[in-house]
């Protein structure tokens, strides 16, 4: 199917699963942990006790319900104090989750900033009149709330009706950002999907309370009841392919192997030994690399062993990588080439590895 589709399923072994498909290709995926298991998610609010402050600014915390967190900036807290924090990033195996005291409530168009008053509009919205309109709409929507509440109007809010922003902010104030399913769908709703498939029960809930989904009228109108949305959308077949470490790209292949310390990506041209094969394959992998890392839930240190190619061609490859990752929602830094000819990437850990969730 052409266009953007969101499919939401409720498998028997987990609360929900959601997928974004563009022109029939799986672009993003969220799997809730299996029933009976507990896993923190990035952006989740937690309660903790400050167990040990470090000489500089950090502190280790004991999470309520078990587990350990690390608060990077602990200057405002005391040892033994009970705090409410937000999960900033997920840990490497055996390490603590990273916490922050700056709790944000994120929607698809607006981010509420408790403790940081004022209205800020994304600089990518260049039209002064539009910036002023959006700032005024956001200010009216939060008027009457606490004095220290602020808002950031995201780029995706450009052109949005004031009623849409008001409804979204009301949902955020009501705690919709803490709803795991709503938070998972958040960044997929702008622009509105051409079709949204969901079980009938969820469809009825969203029709009765559209703010809970952060949706505008267009996406609600495109909602269709489908008891097994993943089968209808072909998501299960795509998941089978992601369960392997190797993916075929063009005439070659790329392998993704996660170790305790880093993610290793190896690029192979396959049977094509022509002079142009290396660059051609590397460019194809670069364009698909953000999607592969996103779907597989891989982050942290990423080292890519690209196929051999002349050094002068590296600039072209770097430009392709930059363009690909600019469109990716996960915070990523392209560090550059190592002395061994590997390309190094640092990527925020926002998701658990897919292999652990399947």
Q: Cα 55 to the chain's mean position, in Å?
A: 33
If you search the block for the tokens 């890392």, which residue do you land on? 293
This prediction has a pTM of: 0.89
Domain boundaries, the chain: 4-35+104-232, 45-100, 243-357
Q: Do 243-357 and 45-100 have the same topology in CATH? A: no
- Residue spans of alpha helices (H) in the chain: 128-142, 162-173, 180-185, 200-208, 217-221, 229-233, 235-242, 277-296, 314-326, 354-357
Residue 247 structure tokens: 């993916």
CB of 130 within 8 A of CB of 161?
no
Each of the 358 residues of the chain gets a pLDDT tens digit; together they read 789 999 999 988 899 999 999 999 999 999 998 888 888 999 999 999 999 999 878 999 999 988 999 999 999 899 999 999 999 999 888 889 999 999 899 999 999 999 899 999 999 999 999 999 999 999 999 998 888 999 999 999 999 999 999 989 998 998 888 888 888 888 898 888 898 898 888 877 777 776 667 766 666 667 788 888 999 999 999 999 898 999 998 888 999 999 988 999 999 998 888 889 999 999 999 999 999 999 999 999 999 999 999 999 999 999 999 999 998 999 999 999 999 999 999 999 999 999 988 8
Spatial separation of the C-alpha atoms in residues 72 and 332, rounded to whole Å? 19
User: Nearest Cα to 103, choosing from 48, 140, 60?
Assistant: 48
Specify whether domain 45-100 bears CATH 3.40.50.300. Answer: no
- Residues 243-357, CATH architecture: 3-Layer(aba) Sandwich (3.40)
| Nearby residues of 222 by Cβ (< 8 Å), 6 or more positions away | 192, 193, 194, 195, 196
């Amino acid at each position: 199917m052409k266009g953007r589709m969101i499919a939401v399923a409720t498998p028997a072994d987990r609360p929900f699963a959601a997928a974004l498909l563009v022109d029939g290709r799986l672009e993003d995926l969220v799997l809730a942990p299996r029933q009976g298991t507990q896993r923190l998610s990035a952006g989740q609010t937690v309660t903790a006790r400050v167990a040990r402050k470090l000489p500089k600014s950090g502190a280790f915390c004991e999470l309520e319900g078990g587990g350990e967190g690390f608060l990077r900036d602990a200057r405002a807290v005391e040892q033994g104090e009970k705090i409410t924090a937000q999960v900033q990033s997920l840990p490497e195996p055996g390490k603590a989750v990273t916490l922050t005291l700056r709790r944000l409530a994120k929607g698809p168009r607006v981010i509420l900033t408790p403790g940081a008053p004022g209205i800020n509009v994304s600089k990518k919205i260049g039209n002064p009149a539009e910036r002023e309109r959006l700032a005024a709409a956001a200010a009216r929507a939060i008027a009457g709330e606490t004095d220290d509440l602020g808002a950031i109007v995201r780029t995706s809010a450009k052109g949005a009706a004031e009623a849409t922003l008001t409804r979204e902010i009301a949902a955020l104030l009501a705690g919709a950002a803490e709803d795991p399913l709503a938070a998972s769908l958040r960044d997929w709703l702008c622009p509105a999907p051409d079709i949204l498939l969901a079980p009938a029960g969820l469809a009825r809930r969203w029709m009765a309370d559209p703010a809970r989904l952060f949706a505008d009228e267009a996406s609600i109108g495109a909602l269709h009841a489908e008891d097994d949305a993943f089968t209808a959308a072909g998501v299960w077949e795509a998941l089978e392919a992601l369960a392997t470490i190797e993916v075929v790209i063009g005439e070659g292949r790329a392998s993704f192997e996660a170790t305790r310390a880093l993610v290793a990506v190896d690029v192979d041209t396959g049977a094509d030994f022509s002079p142009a094969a290396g660059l051609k394959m590397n460019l194809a992998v670069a364009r698909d690399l953000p999607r592969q890392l996103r779907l597989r839930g891989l982050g942290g240190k990423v080292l890519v062993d690209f196929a051999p190619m002349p050094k002068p061609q590296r600039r072209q490859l770097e430009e392709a990588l930059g363009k690909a990752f600019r469109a990716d929602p996960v915070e990523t830094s392209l560090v550059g080439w190592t002395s061994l000819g590997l390309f190094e990437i640092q990527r925020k850990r926002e998701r658990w590895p897919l292999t652990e969730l399947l």
